Structure 1
Amino acid sequence: MNDLNNMVFDDQDSRCFLRVHHCQGQNFAFVVCLDLGCPDCRLQEPIPKRYWGKFSWDDKEESIKQIMRSGAKWDDLHGMICKGLVYDDGQRKVLQCRQSV
């Protein structure tokens, strides 16, 4: 999905990332999307950008677009949020954590 400007989120792209956490009665998503550059001056290589904000499973696409447009930035939380978690047999116990994005 595209925010109609320069940010793109594609869940099939390994550089993009979505992690949803439920806290204080609300869902919040941490998103890594790709900055393509200005529409009239595209970057040769997209730059990963990290944002977070409120999230709704009922309107996933619009939630991600809103986070890309006006979400808060987040630092690389290498030790806290990992991309590509590998879980054991459905118990949600982390067996392996690949390097975060």
Structure 2
Amino acid sequence: MSTVSRCCLACGYLNIALEDKYQEVTVCPKCNGASVDTFKLGKYKQHIKQNKECEHKYRLMDSKTTTMGNRSIHILGSFYCEKCLDTQFRGKIKGEDSSCNL
């Protein structure tokens, strides 16, 4: 038999139990929520902290301006993130007039 310390994800109840067969997740005896092995939970939190999502900081890579007729200008740009190298393309139309000449 081994001693396993578990923490409930729903209510935070800490339970220390003797087990014959190891299970990573069990039912919490207090609220019927998911009770997880605290060692595995700590490893997961450490992994999340190390591999947190990138807070993108984009820089302009390339831009292109196109004039369509007299009224509209299309501006296109390519951007990349300095940290994770994610790329994005953005476009904008300036000066487009929606009035109708009859």
TM-score by length of 2: 0.30
Normalised TM-score (structure 1)? 0.31
Q: In terms of Rg, which structure is larger?
A: 2
